[in-house]
Amino acid sequence: MTKKEFVKTCVDKLDGVTIRDMTLYYDIFCETIAEVVGAGDDVKLSGVGTLTHTVKGARDYKSPLVGKTVHVPEHKAPKFNACKALKDALK
């Protein structure tokens, strides 16, 4: 599902909300999650899961494109843990 499809689905379920408004709400939602997780806090969405960050250690790997060893420094990466209800819905 794309952003456009998601926004349209939400608008169809909500009375009085326009596509423009829903798109704005979606953008604010995503920006807020990025800010909170980027600051090191967790976002717990009931019925969906938890968005956190993890620290990936520095490592060296061999690039399959050029065949050379490339160093990747330590960095943060987003992590998502689905809640039980979401996992059960996928069964």
Give 48-90 pLDDT, tens digit per residue.
Answer: 999 999 999 999 988 888 889 989 999 999 999 999 999 999 8
* Model pLDDT, residue 91: 86
DSSP three-state, residue 29: helix
Number of independent structural domains in the chain: 1
* CB atoms near residue 7 (< 10 Å): 22
For residue 61, give the CATH number of its domain. Answer: 4.10.520.10
Range of the domain at 31: 3-89
* Model pLDDT, residue 5: 97
Tens of pLDDT, residues 3-61: 999 999 999 999 999 999 999 999 999 999 999 999 999 999 999 999 999 999 999 98
Q: Note the pTM of the prediction, 2 decimals.
A: 0.77
* Model pLDDT, residue 33: 95
* Model pLDDT, residue 63: 85
